[in-house]
Amino acid sequence: MRRGARVFLACLVCCWACVSPRSSSDSARAPDFDPAPLVGLWRGRVGGQPIEEAWSLQPDGSLRGFGRWAAPSGETVFHEFLALERRDGAWCYLASPLGAPATSFRLDSASTAAHWIFLAPAHDNPRRIAYRFDGDARLVAEVGQELDGSDARRHEYSKAR
C-alpha cells in the first residue's frame, strides 16, 4: 500500500474520535434527511491535485469522514476531519481543517434529498458548504463565502467504492 494511502486510512480511523459526543436526543434521524448516500470513498482532482473524501456510517446514524488534498506525488498537503451529525435538533456538517477546532454548518431548510446546503453565516470563510449528488457515483461539493453560492469553488468527485 502506498504511503499516502496508509496515512489517509490512518487519519480516517483517528477522525472518529475528533468530534464531541452528542446527547441521545440529537442522535435520532430527521425524517427529511438521510446522510447515508455520502458513505464511501470519493475521489476527484482540482487543478491537477488529487482530492479525496471518505465517509463511514456510525451506529447512531451520523457520519464520520476525512478529506485530503494530495500533491501529484501522492503526499498529503491538506487534510480535515469531517462529521455529519445532529446537534441541538438540527443536522450539522462539522469541519476541522488541519486538526483545528471544528466549525459547525447547519443544514439549510431549503435543502433536498439530492442537494444539501450547510450554512455558518457568522464564520469568516467559508460560510457555505453544499453537496449535490448526480446519481449514485458522482458528487459535486461547493465551498464558498457567499450564502447564495455565487462564489463557490467547485470540487467534483466520483465514487471509488
Which pLDDT band holds residue 129 (cuts at 50, 70, 90)?
Answer: very high
Residue 47 has a pLDDT of 86
Provide the CATH number for the domain around residue 12.
Answer: 2.40.128.20
Tens digits of residue pLDDT in 10-48:
343 333 333 433 333 333 334 468 899 999 999 999 988
Residues 6+ apart with CB under 8 A from 51: 43, 44, 45, 67, 68, 69, 70, 155, 157
Averaged pLDDT score across all residues of the chain: 83
Q: How many separate domains does the chain show?
A: 1
Which pLDDT band holds residue 2 (cuts at 50, 70, 90)?
Answer: low
- Residue-range definition of the domain harbouring residue 12: 3-19+28-159
Q: What percent of the chain has pLDDT over 90?
A: 66
Rounded Cα distance between 91 and 158, Å, is 24
Q: Please, how many CA atoms are within 13 Å of residue 30, restricted to the half-sphere of its CB?
A: 19
pTM, two decimal places = 0.80
The pair phi, psi for residue 13, each rounded to 5°, is -60, -40
